[in-house]
Amino acid sequence: MTSMHEPALVRPTKRALNEMDVPPPTLDIPLSELEHPLVVRAQSLPMLASDNAAERIRSLTDRVWFKVKTGSWRGAVGDVRAGVDEHTRALLDADDAWWWLTAAGPRQNDSPQRDFYARLDVEAHASGPNSCSSDFLLPARWDLRRLEAELALALSTAIPPVVRRAAAMSMRHGEVHGFTAGPTDVRVRIRMLDDGQVYLAIGSTGVTDPKLFALLLSAFDGLTADDWLPEPGPNLNLDPAPGEILWSTMLSPVAQKSLLDELDAGLRADG
């Protein structure tokens, strides 16, 4: 997710990809990282807009769209948060994916009828000269599904090592260790009982996607869904925080050693 100190990223829509003749890359490549010159140039638009240095497309009056130009390429870029429903808003907010390159085309300023921005003007005013709708520029179903798939892949790659590291840190220091995954706060604790049995408990508060919890619980080698039990239970006597969903399992000596070995290897790699 983009922080308040990082520039916003600009994603091209499927329409823009088609108009640039760029096939969608594999899911491990975010669309904002494509090396097409128009996509690269579009990354400067959020900062230019915040400095009032971006050039508006004046013919589109229902929303604010900006011109992006590089070489013979022209495009339309905008922050779409004012034009989407609540479900779409939540998805875009999950990755701060508000800025989009929504259309692209060649300059062709030698022919007003074929000029890129003139064509957008015609499309926006298809219902009459006194009407303007740029809904056709908003991200479509394909764009949202692509973003969901990118986020799911990124999460499935990032979460397992993070939750394992938190478990290892808890085992080593005897403290609760946590992290944030989107709107969800995750807490990891490892507790050794008097009989020598070692238990791992994972809890979450906030908005918890069942897919995220499945990812958390499947991050540990040698454990299956049947190995996890809901807490509070008789073994750990844990007191969940308000709204916390909590599951626990017993860790074998082999699993404990594996977690600590992975932690030590990571600490050595970090220098």
Task: Note the pLDDT tens digit of each residue in 132-178.
Answer: 999 999 999 999 999 989 888 888 888 899 999 999 999 988 888 98
Q: Are 31 and 52 in contact (CB under 8 A)?
A: no
Instruction: Give the list of residues 6+ apart from residue 37 with CB closer than 8 angstroms, or none.
Output: 70, 71, 73
Estimate to the nearest angstrom the gap between the alpha carbon of 84 and the chain centroid: 17
Sorted by where each begins, the domain ranges of the chain are 10-139, 152-269
CA 80 to CA 97: how far, in whole Å? 9
CB 163 within 8 A of CB 113: no
pLDDT for residue 2: 45
CB neighbour list of residue 52: distance below 8 Å, 6 or more residues apart: none
**C-alpha–C-alpha distance, residues 24 and 147, integer Å:** 12
Paired tokens of 224: 């299956």
For position 1, what pLDDT does the model report? 42
Q: What letter represents residue 233's amino acid? A: G
pLDDT at 85: 86
Tokens of 170: 């808890």
Q: What is the pLDDT of residue 237?
A: 66
Is residue 102 within 8 Å of 78, Cβ to Cβ?
Answer: yes
Parts of the chain with a pLDDT under 70: 1-6, 109-113, 207-208, 232-237, 271
List Cα–Cα distances, 216 to 177, 199, 200, 229, 237, in angstroms: 14, 15, 12, 14, 21
- How many residues in total does the chain contain? 271
- Given a contact cutoff of 8 angstroms between Cβ atoms, the answer to whether 54 and 18 are in contact is no
DSSP string spanning the chain? ---TTSPPPEEEPHHHHHHHT-----TTS-GGG---HHHHHHTTHHHHHHTT-SPB-TT--SS--EEEEETTEEEEEEE-GGGS-HHHHHHHHHTT--EEEEEEEE--TT-TTT-HHHHHHHHHTTT-TT----GGGS--HHHHHHHHHHHHHHHHHHHHHHHHHHHHHHHHHSS-EEEEETTEEEEEEEEE-TTS-EEEEEEEEES--HHHHHHHHTTSTT--GGG-EESS-TTT---PPTT-EEEEEEEPHHHHHHHHHHHHHHHHHT-
| Residue 97, strand partner residues | none
